[in-house]
Amino acid sequence: MNWMQRILLRQFIIMAPDDGNNGGGGNGGDNKPDPAKELEAERTKNAELLKRLEALEKGNQKPEPKKDDDDLAAKAEKLRLEKEKQANDTGKMQKALKFTMGMPEFLKTNASLLPKSIEGIFAQADKEKYENEMEKADAVKVAVVSEFFAIQANLDLLTEAQKNALAEFQALTKNVKQERVQQIYDMVFEPAFESLKRATKAKQVRDGEIDPANAKAAYAKRIADLSKNKFIKKGAK
């Protein structure tokens, strides 16, 4: 039964006769119908039909969710989001701490590849006060990106897509830069820096130059070999 049929049936049921004349006569005899009784019987029948219709309509309605269930679901979702955010923040904090603690070693290892100004950036960052390590790391990364790509040769290491991303980043305000610097650092600075290191090493090999770090290691090995040989000869005597 569709909704239109239900409306028509409801209207039919609740309509009661206006008088007792539809019974077909008066009280002429015992065999003649009693209009009052027929009216009462019709009303009783209509009331029963109305109850059945209401029960049918009620059965087709979807039960509303319990408020307690809704509250529990909302609390569970809220708790899940809070735990997810906490884990994400913890990961960011650990990454930022690793970066800031590793700044001196990074500078020492890559001093020949970085602009001289970056050494001053690291020193100044240690003097500044930040709310947390994440803010410090982001501030340093913004400065490193800016100084590194201020050199045209470093900028030329980028693809067109990277150049466009860098240009959009540099046009942002200070606060927004710090919010988005991690992506630029990962996707633009680090790939360019790795390219610079590979190109520098290739040039050193091509020109016959010796990497200072490798030279130091070679010297230490040479001293160790000389001492070992001297000890062996002395023992042979």
pLDDT digits (tens, 9 = 90+) for 24-71: 444 545 566 677 777 787 778 777 877 777 777 676 665 665 666 668
- pLDDT (0 to 100) of residue 212: 54
- Count the domains in the chain: 1
The whole-number pLDDT of residue 86 equals: 73
Task: Give domain status of residue 23, yes or no.
Answer: no
Domain hosting residue 156, numbered range? 92-209
Asked if residue 117 belongs to a domain, the reply is: yes
| Backbone dihedral angles phi then psi of residue 132, each to the nearest 5 degrees | -160, 175
Residue 150's pLDDT band, with cuts at 50, 70 and 90, is very high
| 202 assigned to some structural domain | yes
Higher pLDDT, 7 or 43: 43
In a domain, 113, yes or no: yes
Rounded CA Rg of the chain: 44
Q: Does the residue 195 lie in any domain?
A: yes
Buried b (16+ CB within 10 A) or exposed e, 179-192: eebbebbeebbeeb
The angle formed by the CA atoms of residues 129, 131 and 137, to the nearest 5 degrees, is: 80
- What pLDDT, on the 0 to 100 scale, is given for residue 124? 93
What is the reported pTM? Answer: 0.55
Half-sphere exposure of residue 68: CA atoms within 13 angstroms, side-chain side: 0
On the CB side of 14, CA atoms within 13 Å amount to 8
Answer yes or no: is pLDDT of 220 > 80: no
Residue 51 lies inside a defined structural domain of this protein: no
* Residue 79 belongs to some domain of the structure: no
Half-sphere exposure of 85 (CA within 13 A, CB side): 6
For residue 117, what are its two tokens?
A: 């100004």
Measured CA to CA in angstroms, residue 165 lies from 137, 158, 233 at distances of 20, 10, 64
What stretches of the chain show up as alpha helix (H) in DSSP? 3-14, 35-60, 67-101, 103-109, 117-127, 133-148, 152-155, 160-170, 174-184, 190-207, 212-236
| Residue 114: inside a domain | yes
